[in-house]
Amino acid sequence: MNIENVCKVYKTKNDEVKALDNVSYEFKPGKLYAIMGHSGSGKSTLISILGLIETYTSGKITINNEDISKLKDNDLSNLRMKYIGFVFQDFYLDEHLKAYENVMLPMLINKEIKREERKEKAIKLLTDLGLSERINHYPKELSGGECQRVAIARSLANDPKIILADEPTGNLDEENEKLVFETLKDLAKKGKCVIVVTHSEEIKKYADEILKITKGKLEV
C-alpha cells in the first residue's frame, strides 16, 4: 500500500481544516506500523483514508499497485472486503449477534467462503485470539478486552492483507492493551501489513516503524 502527497481538507460551514498535508508513505506487508501524534493531529483522518472509509482531497493511493482514486463506491466496497480489516476504539459490535455471528457478518458477502465453512472459520478466528470460551456470548456479556478481540477477529474474517486499528486500546486497561498489541504483532509476523494509531508508549516495544504526525504532516 502506497500513498503519495495525500491531502485532506475538511470543509465546515465557516472555515476549512487542513487535516492532512502532503502525506506520502509506503506501507509494506509483514510489518507493524504505529502512527502517533497529538490529539487533532490527523491520525484518525489518515487511517480512515487508508481504510477507504473517508475520501481525500488530493493525492494518490495505490493498493496492490492499483490506483483507487477513480474507483466508484461499489468498487471501493469490494476493495474493503478483500484487502482491509478495520478495528475501532469503540468496537462497534452488533449487540443482537453472538461473538461468532459478529465475526461471520463480513463473510456473508464473500463468495469465496462457502456457507457451511463460515461458522467453523469464525470459531477458528476467535480461538486463535484466545476466545474459545466466549464464542456463544453476546457483546454485553464480554469485557472490553474481549470485545476488542472479537472486533479484531471480525476484521480478519475475509483474510485481508491490511489491518488498520484506530486507537484499539483507548478503552482498555494495560493488561488488555498488551494482549491486543501482541495479537497485532502476531498478525504482522504472519505477513499482514498492520497499522495502528495509538497514544500508548507501550507500542514502541512492538512496532517495526513509528510514524509521527504533527498538524497533518508526517515525520518518519
Partner 1 sequence: MNLKDRLWIIKNHIFDKRNYIFITILFFIFIAIFITLTFYNCATYISYYEKERLASKNINIDINNYSKEKEELIKNIDHVVSIDIFMTNASYNVKEFNSITPGYITISPLIDQNDIEIIKGTNIQKEYDMICPNLFYPHDAYETIYKSDYLKGKEIVDKSVVINNQTFTIVGTYDAKKIRNHLSECFVSKNTFKKLNPEKVDTSQLTIRVDKQENRREVIRALTNIDITNIDINIINTNYSLIYISIFITIIILFISFAIIYNFIKKKLRYRLNNYGILKVSGYQNKEIFKLDILENLIVSTICFIVSAIFFYIVYNLIINSISSLDYYIYTSEINLEINYFYILLSYLFMIIMIFIATKYLNYKYLNQSINYLLKDE
Binding site for ligand ADP (CB under 6 A): 10, 12, 17, 19, 37, 39-45
78 binding partner 1? (CB under 8 A): yes
Distant-in-sequence contacts of 122-127, Cβ < 8 A, 24+ apart: 122/153, 122/157, 125/153, 125/156, 125/157, 126/99, 126/100, 126/150, 126/153
> Is the CB of 99 or the CB of 165 nearer to Mg ion?
165
Residue 146 binding: pick among ligand ADP, partner 1, Mg ion, none (C-beta 5-8 Å cut-off by kind): none
Least distance from partner 1 to the Cβ atom of residue 82, Å: 7
Rounded Cα gap, residues 30 and 188, in angstroms? 5
140-199 residues in contact with partner 1 (CB under 8 A) are 154, 157-158
Least distance from Mg ion to the Cβ atom of residue 43, Å: 5
Residue 158 binding: pick among partner 1, ligand ADP, Mg ion, none (C-beta 5-8 Å cut-off by kind): partner 1
Residue 39 binding: pick among partner 1, Mg ion, ligand ADP, none (C-beta 5-8 Å cut-off by kind): ligand ADP
23-52 residues in contact with Mg ion (CB under 5 A) are 44
Residue 177 binding: pick among partner 1, ligand ADP, Mg ion, none (C-beta 5-8 Å cut-off by kind): none
Residue with the three cell numbers 476504539: 89
DSSP secondary structure, 64-102, as one string: TTEE-TT--HHHHHHHHHHHEEEE-TT----TTS-HHHH
Distance in angstroms between the alpha carbons of the first and the last residue of the chain: 17
Pairing of the two strands 58-63 and 66-67: antiparallel
169 binding Mg ion? (CB under 5 A): no
5 binding partner 1? (CB under 8 A): no
Least distance from partner 1 to the Cβ atom of residue 148, Å: 14
Report helix, strand and coil shares of the chain as percent, to nearest 5.
Answer: 40, 25, 35
Total residues binding Mg ion (CB under 5 A): 1
